[in-house]
């Protein structure tokens, strides 16, 4: 599993909770462009807001500043850098769009303010910083993209992925390990990739106000 993260001026790294969920700080590795891989020593998360804060195992110079706590007008040009889909670098890719609106996301049971962006966000962009065009201060954290299909489709694809009946086929996974998969699982893999990559050009980012509140509560846990 992978996602995108970004360094703050205080030396901590921000990403989404769903990117790191199920992992400990020691389980994860970062692969920064132009630098050596490194790990993490501490982690703090908030599942409701879907944010995570990581303490790198080594000191990192530079870092991004958080932008002002105010809404960008509808139509404001925005951008993010990240590692969408199966792209693994070395350099992150640029995605651009504009602010299309604001919503209160209540999927976790707690209302969280999101920026709706008309832009090409895809799996892997999660955790990336959102900027106003020509400004390097963070105004949000990429968290999701809208899907063309209703949630039931994702549930049915998962049901297929759990079926091991029928003819079995052997192949190698991305790490070169042998893997046995059934006809149903092959179908599920193809449908899942199509489902995830169908681009509706609407995504969401967690607002800067939510990010500031999260950092205020969690920074002490990872220092």
What are the residue ranges of helices labelled H in 67-182? 151-161
What is the reported pTM? 0.75
β strands within the chain, DSSP E: 6-7, 13-15, 40-46, 51-56, 77-82, 93-105, 112-119, 129-132, 138-145, 168-172, 178-182, 203-207
Residue 175 is assigned to a structural domain of this protein: yes
Domain total in the chain = 1
Residue 93 is assigned to a structural domain of this protein: no
Residue 219 is assigned to a structural domain of this protein: no
From first to last of its 223 residues, what are the pLDDT tens digits of the chain? 789 999 999 999 999 999 999 999 999 999 888 788 899 999 999 999 999 999 999 999 889 999 999 999 999 999 999 998 778 878 899 999 999 999 998 877 889 999 999 988 888 899 999 999 999 999 999 997 665 566 777 777 788 888 887 778 887 777 778 888 888 887 887 777 766 665 556 788 999 999 999 999 999 999 8
Length reported for the chain: 223
Domain that holds residue 186: 151-197
Residue 114 is assigned to a structural domain of this protein: no
For residue 26, the number of C-alpha atoms closer than 13 Å in the C-beta half-sphere is: 0
Report the alpha-carbon distance of residue 58 to residue 98 in Å, rounded: 35
């Amino acid at each position: 599993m992978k996602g995108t993260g970004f360094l703050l001026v205080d030396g901590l790294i921000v990403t989404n909770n769903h990117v790191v969920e199920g992992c400990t700080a020691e389980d994860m590795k970062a692969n920064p462009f132009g630098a050596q891989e490194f790990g993490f020593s501490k982690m703090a998360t908030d599942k409701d807001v879907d944010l995570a804060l990581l303490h790198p195992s080594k000191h990192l110079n530079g870092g991004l500043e958080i932008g002002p706590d105010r809404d960008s007008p509808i139509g404001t040009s925005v951008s993010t850098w990240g590692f969408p889909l199966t792209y693994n670098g070395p350099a992150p890719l640029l995605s651009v769009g504009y602010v299309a609106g604001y919503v209160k996301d209540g999927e976790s049971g707690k209302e969280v303010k999101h920026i709706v962006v008309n832009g090409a966000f895809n799996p892997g962009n999660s955790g990336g910083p959102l900027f106003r065009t020509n400004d390097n201060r963070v105004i949000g954290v990429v968290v999701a993209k809208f899907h063309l299909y209703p949630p039931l489709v994702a549930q049915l694809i998962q049901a297929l992925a759990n079926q091991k009946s029928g003819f079995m086929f052997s192949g190698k996974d991305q790490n070169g390990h042998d893997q046995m998969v059934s006809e149903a699982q092959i179908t599920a893999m193809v449908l899942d990739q199509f489902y995830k990559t169908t681009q509706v050009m609407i995504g969401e980012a967690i607002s800067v106000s939510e990010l500031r509140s999260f950092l205020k509560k969690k920074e002490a846990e990872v220092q």
